[in-house]
């Protein structure tokens, strides 16, 4: 288009110049002059053969019409006048035509110098800049892909030793990354009957609280070497009973036993491999808090321990993708995991010289339609020492069968998670025995327990990548709460529903309404409370 427009512009300029040069008294000589000009322009490459033929034909046709008009309107001249006048005028015309051709040539040269060379130079410079940008983008994309392979939420890199050596040789500090999230929450108790509401996991679920920070997590993780991965997480609002204070939530190392990192040993403070809802991060969980039936096994989800974990490379990648795809997976804790942990709770030393033993097996199935289903079975066993205190009017409960070694504390559980694509459902159930206060509140014994939950959800992703996930959950539990003072019997029967709205990845908004009955295990006489309450939360991810 630009070339065609340029040629037409040049032709128009030439025609205008010739039209000015030719006097109206010489219509006959104009045709040959124009044809000569067109021939010169074609020879110089200004006109194509097709354009030249078209212009010559148009000029000749115009000359014929002009000749007819001249013959009809002009009287016959004297015999000797035409020759002399024609010769003189033709000589003058050729002189002016040569001047016009010179001007046209000068214009063409100037146009080529100012336009062609400059444009070609600018085009070459632009192409060079585009090439440089493409190289930078390609390099950056490769670096991002490499770095994304180094770590995930819960496990060390699945990169090979050679890849890591090449990427981060002698730069261990560049192997660490920082992440975290902040949860600001407000709960409103709308109704309570039979006593004061107390939710073991949510210090805001009472009629005394308004707005506060539920969790303020900051985590550092990365591969220190090709064989050692480190994970550290602190909670800036993890004090006792919801009071502000810094608390270590995780501090462990994964030691790989093979180059593919399929076999590893975890050492330190970490989550106990028991149950999907315990292993799933609170950053990814839809409900505001974990269900009591599972969380009473390991309150705060963590303990000091040593575990062996195994998962093939492709299964480890699948665990990571269940988180990265926004399906809210539990992370990579191995396809098979077993080991020992203190059993007394987060940041507490063992008090009976006997560790708890835990084992878990899980497998995330992937179907042809892209749907994921994860099935798990888990269990643990050990002895637990309870904390006791005097009950008004009763006294301090006696250890019925615990002694100095503690009470039998053992559970087995199953999990089934159909990830939301777009509809999902998850359920967990467990049974076992654990410390429990007797009905007369005078003795603590090891008694049976059971409970679980069912949660349904639907994930809708809008065209602009915003998400909304409505969900509903029913939970029930009947058994002792071993981590509470005197291990009171805890009964829970609750229905809750809500939604999570994600306007962009950095911000998640949740609202959840709960109705049910639960035991206030915080204050004797441990009454059962009927309640309705609403919780809202804003979560900032970084």
Percent of the chain whose predicted confidence (pLDDT) is above 90 = 59
CA distance 270 to 152: 15
Determine the Cα–Cα distance for residues 119 and 85; give it in Å rounded to an integer.
Answer: 49
pLDDT at 97: 72
Which contiguous run of DSSP H or E holds residue 161?
Answer: helix 161-168
Closest C-alpha to 272, from 254, 241, 234, 299: 299
Q: Tokens 């990427």 map to which residue? A: 167
3-class DSSP string for 290-349:
CCHHHHCCCCCCEEEEEEEEECCHHHHHHHHHHHHCCCCCCCCCCCEEEEEECCCCCCCC
Q: What is the DSSP letter of 246?
A: -
> Cβ distance 471 to 498 under 8 Å?
yes
Best CA proximity match to 340, nearest among 310, 309, 307: 307
DSSP secondary structure string, 38-75?
HHHHHHTTSS-HHHHHHHHHHHHHHHHHHHHHHHHHSP
Q: What is the pLDDT of residue 131?
A: 75
Q: Do 495 and 514 form a contact (C-beta atoms < 8 A)? A: yes
Tokens read off for 453:
């939950």
DSSP symbols for 373-413: EEEEEEEEEEEEPPP--PBTTTBPPEESS-GGG-EEEEEEE
- Give 389's contacts (C-beta < 8 A, 6+ positions apart): 396, 485, 486
Long-range contacts of 209-213 (CB under 8 A, 24+ apart): 210/186, 211/184, 211/185, 211/186, 212/184, 212/185, 212/186, 212/237, 212/242, 213/182, 213/183, 213/184, 213/185, 213/237, 213/244
Counting as low any pLDDT under 50, the low residues of the chain are 1-9, 11, 13-14, 16-30, 77-85, 150-155, 240, 242
Q: Phi/psi of residue 72, each to 5°?
A: -70, -30
Each residue of 256-296: pLDDT tens digit? 999 999 999 999 999 999 999 999 999 999 999 999 999 99
245 pairs with which residues across the strands?
237
CA distance 258 to 14: 82
Q: Which residue has the tokens 């502000």?
A: 244
Residue environment code for 59-82, b if the CB has 16+ CB neighbours within 10 A, otherwise e:
beeebeeeeeeeeeeeeeeeeeee
Can you tell me the distance from the alpha carbon of 464 to that of 506, in angstroms, rounded to the nearest whole number? 15
Sign of the dihedral through C-alpha 264, 338, 346, 196? positive
Instruction: Please state, in angstroms and rounded to a whole number, the distance separating the CA atoms of residues 317 and 314.
Output: 5
CA dist., res. 471 & res. 191, Å (int): 22
Q: How far apart are CA 292 and CA 328, in angstroms?
A: 20
* Cβ neighbourhood burial of 243 (10 Å; 0-12, 13-18, 19+): exposed
Structure tokens at 403: 């002694």
What phi and psi, each to the nearest 5 degrees, are found at residue 195? 150, -170
Task: In whole angstroms, give the CA distance from residue 325 to residue 302.
Answer: 26
Q: What is the largest CA-CA distance in the chain?
A: 150
Domain ranges of the chain: 2-124, 151-541
Q: For residue 354, what are its two tokens? A: 């006997």
Cα–Cα separations (whole angstroms), residue 329 to 301, 320, 374, 379: 16, 8, 9, 20
CA 519 to chain centre: 39
CATH architecture designation of domain 151-541: Beta Barrel (2.40)
Distance CA 474, CA 415 (A): 15
| Whole-number pLDDT of residue 421 | 95
- Global pTM reads 0.69
Token pair for 144: 């991002």
Q: What is the 3-state secondary structure (H, E, C) of 1-26?
A: CHHHHHHHHHHHHHHHHHHHHCCCCC
């Amino acid at each position: 288009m630009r070339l065609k427009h340029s040629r037409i512009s040049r032709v128009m300029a030439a025609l205008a110049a010739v039209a000015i040069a030719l006097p109206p008294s010489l219509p006959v000589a104009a045709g040959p002059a124009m044809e000569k000009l067109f021939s010169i322009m074609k020879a110089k490459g200004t006109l194509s053969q097709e354009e030249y033929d078209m212009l010559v034909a148009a000029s000749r046709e115009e000359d014929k019409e002009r000749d007819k008009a001249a013959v009809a309107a002009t009287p016959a001249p004297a015999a000797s006048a035409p020759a002399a006048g024609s010769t003189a005028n033709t000589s003058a015309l050729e002189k002016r035509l040569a001047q016009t051709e010179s001007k046209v040539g000068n214009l063409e040269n100037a146009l080529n110098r100012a336009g062609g060379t400059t444009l070609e130079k600018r085009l070459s410079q632009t192409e060079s800049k585009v090439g440089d940008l493409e190289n930078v983008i390609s390099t950056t994309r490769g670096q991002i892909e490499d770095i994304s392979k180094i770590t995930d939420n819960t496990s060390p890199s699945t990169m090979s030793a050679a890849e890591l050596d090449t990427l981060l040789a002698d730069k261990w500090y560049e192997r660490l990354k920082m992440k975290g999230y902040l949860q600001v929450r407000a709960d409103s108790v709308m109704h309570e009957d039979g006593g004061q509401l107390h939710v073991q996991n949510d210090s805001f679920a009472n009629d005394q609280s308004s707005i506060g920070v539920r969790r303020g997590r900051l985590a550092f993780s990365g591969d220190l070497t090709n064989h050692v991965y480190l994970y550290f997480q602190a909670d800036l609002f993890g004090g006792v009973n919801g009071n502000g204070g810094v608390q270590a939530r995780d501090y462990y190392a994964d030691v790989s036993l093979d180059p593919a990192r399929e076999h590893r040993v975890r050492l330190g403070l970490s989550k106990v491999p028991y149950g999907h809802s315990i292993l799933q991060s609170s950053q990814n969980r839809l409900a505001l808090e974990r269900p009591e039936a599972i969380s009473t096994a390991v309150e705060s989800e963590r303990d000091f321990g040593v575990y062996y974990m195994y998962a093939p490379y492709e299964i480890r990648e699948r665990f990571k993708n269940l988180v990265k795809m926004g399906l809210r997976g539990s992370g990579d804790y191995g396809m098979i995991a077993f080991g020992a942990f203190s059993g007394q709770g987060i940041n507490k030393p063992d008090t009976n010289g006997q560790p708890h033993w835990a084992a878990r097996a899980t497998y995330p199935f992937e179907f042809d339609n892209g749907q994921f289903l994860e099935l798990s079975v888990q269990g643990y066993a050990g002895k637990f020492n309870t904390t006791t205190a005097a009950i008004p009017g009763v006294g301090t409960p006696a250890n019925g069968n615990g002694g100095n070694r503690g009470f039998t504390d053992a559970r087995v559980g199953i999990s089934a998670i159909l990830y939301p694509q777009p509809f999902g459902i998850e359920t967990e159930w467990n049974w076992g025995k654990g410390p429990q206060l007797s009905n007369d509140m005078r003795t603590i014994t090891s008694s049976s327990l059971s409970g679980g939950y069912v949660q349904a959800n639907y994930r809708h992703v809008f065209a602009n990548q915003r998400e909304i996930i409505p969900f509903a959950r029913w939970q029930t539990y009947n058994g002792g709460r071993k981590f509470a003072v005197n291990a009171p019997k805890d009964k829970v029967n609750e229905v809750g529903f809500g939604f999570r709205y994600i306007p962009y990845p950095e911000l998640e908004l949740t609202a959840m309404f709960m109705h049910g009955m639960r035991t206030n295990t915080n204050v004797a006489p441990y009454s059962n409370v009927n309640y309705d309450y609403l919780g809202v939360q804003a979560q900032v991810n970084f």
